[in-house]
Structure 1
Amino acid sequence: MARVHHDVLSVEWIKLELIRTAYSTRGGLFAAMDPRAVVIWYILLAIVPWFTHNITVLACLFAIGTVSIFLARVGPLILGLFVLGMGTEVVYLSIAAWLFGGNIETLIALAALNLKLGVVALASMAAFVSLDPEKLSDALLAFRAPQMLAFGVSYGYRMLPILIEEFSTVFEGYRLRTAPPAKKGLLGWRVAAQWAVLAVLSFYPIFLNTAASVRTTVEALETRGFTHGAANAHGCRIRLAKLRIGLLDVVVLTVTVLAVAAAFAAGSIWPVYR
């Protein structure tokens, strides 16, 4: 059992989870949709929470976001970080409100804020876990975003596996050259502190290696005529010709709009305001 937990919580597992997230290899409902429809769906859920302070409405929107992450098959690493972040934020905001003499209205206001941030975070996870670099770049181009912005997003996603591999190599190299603490301390805090220091030190070589990779990539793109191709309207039309809004896209967007309308209807029946 200890060996299994060690394998799950390893650097290699984290690296594989990040790669699966960046390249949308888990599948799911939104991965089968047109990327433009996914972006529209995300914008809808990211904007709607900021138009209300009704706790009932926000709770319903949070429930919609929760269902969406399961339909999108969000990985355990991203989901765990979200739960940890939300839990920590709720705890320290509640403590701060109590220390500064807050009352029940303060707690309701903090609950509304946390629900809004939670809805946006859930929608972000469900949408961007389902879009690989190529799909996201095509969606931005379809919405008339600048070519260099679309390329930058796609390039950033594609650099992620390289950065993770570089970090893993440098970090393991530091571990091999560094003696472990003589005493682990309570709950192994000295080991955790040493790993944190090594993680910070690992970023400096990564910056140098990344700069070299970026220069090589830019030279290769310019050799292949990337700048000219980006400004060519005919080439852009050929690239976007594969995008099609299908029945699944229409159904998902319609169901989402109806669910949001139902959330506001529920808020009018059971109003809980800040």
Structure 2
Amino acid sequence: MNIRPPLRKRSRKALMELKPLLDKINDEVEQADYIRYDPVQFMHMFSEKKDIEVAGFLAATMAWGRRDIVVAKVDDLLKRMNYHPYEFVRSYTQKDFEVLKGFKHRTFKPIDIHGLILALQQIYTDYYDFESFWEKCRALGSEQQRPFLAIFHEEFFSMSSDFAERTRKHVSNPEKGSTCKRLYMYLRWTIRKNSPVDLGIWNFMEPSELLIPFDVHVARQARKYGLIARRTDDWKTVHELTETLSVLNPKDPARYDYALFGIGALDYSLPKRFILNKV
């Protein structure tokens, strides 16, 4: 039986030595040119807030797998909506399900999109906009001392009874141990200000409160360079990494998502002397 050695973690001093290198990579990756290769492009496609919200939520929810395939599939879905996502959601009826037939992305099927649309439709009936719904979930999370994304999951699926049980798995729940990568990516898009990529159209929470969107690329680099010491990819590890990155930038820790993605999936690298762990 092979027992893996514990992961080493950077000291605060060693972390600050890494900061200028991560900042440099981040500044090079977080450029306007990034948009055309990423699902965030579908938020930039629209000018009206409610169109931006809906397109972004659908794009983030489907952001699973290779980016080029995700972009193609989201475009397919929005094309079926005649590129009027909010209008499609608000006016959606059972007969419009015909428009969704034949759509597929990984485990997403028309019935799943149907459920998401019905929930969004009710949200826009009950709330001024999608941000208002998120704001309520955050307030409830604070009252109940629970992760507000768990509240979001509950409240979102309470909006309609006409959805397949299988659709629940497409919206993450931190109380099930999920890292909630796609939800926090969506929040990064909507909350972070003064970014050439993220739109920052919402104000219900501060960028300092964002957790890092945590995927396999981010996880590998975070362990390799000693930013986290846990080996499990779960909600606790997301918090650990965010706390580490908050040392580098307490007002905007999620900005380093670009740097870690750049090192993990693009052609960026750090000097070998900064490697702490073999992963």
TM-score by length of 2: 0.22
| Greater gyration radius | 1
More helix by share: 1
TM-score by length of 1: 0.22
